[in-house]
Amino acid sequence: MTRTAQELAGYLAAKLEGDPLMRISGVAGPERAGPEDLVYLDSARYSDRVAASAARCVVVGAGVRIAGKTLLEVGDPKLAFAKAAAWVLTTPAPPPAIHPTAIVSPRAKLASDCSVGPYVVIENDAEIGARTTISAFCFVGRAARVGEDCHLHPRVTLYPGARIGKRVEVHSGTVIGGDGFGYVFGEGRHWKFPQIGSVEIGDDVEIGCNTTIDRGSLETTRVGNGVKIDNLVQVAHNVQIGQHSVIAAQTGVSGSSTLGNNVVVGGQVGIADHCTLEDGAIAGAQAGIPTGKTIRRGQIVWGTPARPLDKFKEQYAWFARLPELAERVRALEGRGGAARGRSSS
């Protein structure tokens, strides 16, 4: 959608300097931008790249000037650029329709303006909200619910009873509501513990490709409003994830763990069962959090087992010196042995 610089300035509450009628129809990086693309500058290191760009309109921080460009001056250029992109790059929803190859139960409840793609299966008592898109090869199980303005990309699977809020985007290959990994060992074998709970996804959530979110065993797995989950993440049964938390790729969250609000989890983090990450906690990439551990509010941890960042950096510095220290120890032991030999003679 094409906007003018003046319209963008109003939307972003930005100070405009330059041509208010300049047309903006896209966003790009400086090297790839065309005349109608918007770019941003949040570091003086990139000033030359932005100045040389074909883009004529730039989102900048307070007091920044670039000759020959129309400027939108804001407090946080990267945030403003992201908001502008969401406004300019609005993707039109597909027309409301049910593809003839879709299999939709007569007992399902579909809003009149939703879109159902090829080879979708929607089972009994499922509900699909207004303006929601269910793309090709998706499966929506019995009594599952999808709210308004959602988008399920191709091959998403919702097990029976899964519930998804409003404005949720679920990317390809994701499975929501599968059984958790729960067994009890006895009498020489593993007995499956019941996996009969549910899973609830809040509003404004985005879930990446090939992520799995298991239903609760006897209770409910919950993902709060505004949560963003990357690709290839495993969320186990009974996990609770608070609002606006972020989880990066290849992370595993084991059963009955709780993540508070605004928690940040880096890539390949392993969170064992019954852990708690309080509000605002940060776990660095590849951190390992052992069973039952609590990461306190606002604390930053790294390493395996996870420990406060300052302690991790201090210990890591010593680990890097181990070869040098080993040589010194061997040298000291050699001198000690020689001294003992002389004394015995």
- Residues with a catalytic annotation lie at 237
Please classify residue 55 by burial: count the beta carbons closer than 10 Å to its beta carbon, then call 0-12 exposed, 13-18 middle and 19+ buried.
buried
Provide Rg for the chain, Cα atoms.
Answer: 27
How many CB atoms sit inside 10 A of residue 220's CB? 17
CA–CA separation, 307 vs 237, rounded Å? 26
Distances (CA, A) of 212 to 156, 159, 230, 237: 10, 11, 11, 10
Please classify residue 289 by burial: count the beta carbons closer than 10 Å to its beta carbon, then call 0-12 exposed, 13-18 middle and 19+ buried.
buried
Q: Which two tokens stand for residue 102?
A: 């879709």
CB contact at 8 A, 38 and 24: yes
Please classify residue 160 by burial: count the beta carbons closer than 10 Å to its beta carbon, then call 0-12 exposed, 13-18 middle and 19+ buried.
middle
Write the DSSP string, 4-54: EHHHHHHHHTPEEES-TT-EE-EE--TTT--TTEEEE--SGGGHHHHHHSS
CB contact at 8 A, 50 and 71: no
Q: Which two tokens stand for residue 195?
A: 């996996």
